[in-house]
Each structure stands twice: as structure tokens, then as C-alpha cells.
Amino acid sequence: MVIVRSIIAVALTSPKPEENWSDYPLLTQKGIDIIKHYSEPRTATGSGLYASYREYGEDIWRIGYGSKRIGRYLVGSKDTATRDQIEKQLIEDLKQFSRAIEAYIYVPLNKNKKAAILSFAYSIGLCSFKSCRLLDLVNRHATKTEIIREWSPYINQIWFSGGERIVNQRRVELNTFYAADKEIPTFTPHKCKLEYCLLNLTETYHGAYTQIRAIEYLENKITQWDPSGRTMKYFFRLWSETPSGLGSPQRLETDE
């Protein structure tokens, strides 16, 4: 069987463009993009097709990003698929994977944190993720310093064993995890008084009811001190800049 089917057949087995990902809370486009960037599909045969392959020690066939199936069909030894097919299947795989790791995460996460966690977990696998130290740190609201020590490849040098690709992936994940996000999930409803909510100071927020009440108090005071909102707007413009150097700075090349 060759998995290069007609347009009608592909449409029947492919996810609909307007599909709502609300059933998969940990799945975000940013997470998918990180995974695709650091997980090159195998094995290109030319003409935009990818052939099936087997990992060392396995007796099952995979295709593209490691998928065991394309749509409803299990991958066989002589199957090929287009780039569009393997990318759509990757999303289907990540839907199921995101549901699996969601069961082990007990704290609210914004979209950037979800993207970083999904990428990290997918790269090490479910079995390793559910017992890893980083998951424990995230679940117990560990300090920024503790998480950086565990996640940064330039501090936790176990990641160097994965080569340059893993080093770069961990650096990007860490920066993404601590990037500001406009939407901060809360267990307690919060009606923000400011254009830029103080809950966006993500590493200081841990979801406690008393903390939200304190933030509401501060927001009320800030609206009195700075009714124009200019000060907070300037502050959050600086705050929202992409983090860099969280244990893994990229140095610019200089001519000697």
C-alpha cells in the first residue's frame, strides 16, 4: 500500500482546518512549531515524499516525525506520504500526547509555558517526563533559579549528550517558558483593573486566592498613582521582550 491517496481520501482522514483545540489544553501552535523545528522528518525520497522507516531495535514502521500511522492506516514497510500528510499526522499525534502529559501537570500554565513543556516532554518521551525532576519543580512552583538550573543546557550539562540540536532546543524551551504571555490562567476569577494585568509577571504568580486579592489591591493603587497608564505600558513593553541568556546566551561572532 502507498499512502499517497486522492484529494478526497486525504480530506477524509485529515483534521479539519477549523478544528477547535480546546479539548487539548496543552496543544499550542508555538509548541508545535518548536517541535517541528527540532524534529526533522525522516526519510525524504525526493519529489516531496517520505518513506517509512524503523528505529533501531523496533519491529514497527514509522513515517515522517515518527508517526505509527497516517490517518486511519498503520504504516507499513512500503508506504510513502507527502509533507502535508506527515505534518497533519504530527498534530494528531501531539493531541494524544498532550492529553497523556496533562494528567501529570497540576498547576495552571499560560500558552508559552504549555509550548515549552510540550516540546520538552515530547523530546524525552512520556515515561521519562512523568518521573523527571523538571516536572516536579514545575508542579511545586519552584523558583526561577531552580528551574533554570534544571532546564538550562549550559548549567545542567546532561543535555550536552544530545548534541547541538538538544542544547538549542533546551535553550529555546527555557526562554519560551519564561516569556510573558497576555493570558494567565487562574483558578480564581480575576477582573483586572489595568490594561496590562499584573498576573503577567508569571514567575511570581502561583495561583493562590490571597495572591490574586493582593494583586487586585495593587492594581487599584496603580490606577490612582498612574491614571494615564503610561508607566505600566512602558514597564510591560520592556517586560515582554523575548528573554535571552537564561543560562544559555547566544554570543555574537566578532572579527578578531
C-alpha 233, offset from chain centre: 27
Q: Which 8-state DSSP code applies to residue 155?
A: T
Secondary structure of the chain: what % helix, strand, coil (to 5)?
Answer: 50, 5, 45
- β 69-70/49-51 pair status: unpaired
Q: How many of the other CB atoms lie within 10 Å of CB of 120?
A: 25
Q: Is-above-0.75 flag for pTM?
A: no
DSSP calls for 5-63: --HHHHHHHSPPTT--GGGSTT--HHHHHHHHHHS--B-EEETTEEE-B--TT--S-BB
Nearest to 112 by CA among 49, 193, 32, 31: 31
pLDDT per position in the chain (256 positions), as tens?
444 443 333 333 444 443 568 889 999 999 999 999 999 898 999 888 999 999 988 999 999 999 999 999 999 999 999 999 999 999 999 999 999 999 999 988 888 899 999 999 999 999 999 999 999 999 998 988 999 999 999 999 999 999 999 999 999 999 999 886 655 555 566 777 777 677 666 555 666 778 778 878 888 888 888 888 888 777 777 766 666 666 555 554 544 4
Domain boundaries, the chain: 1-102
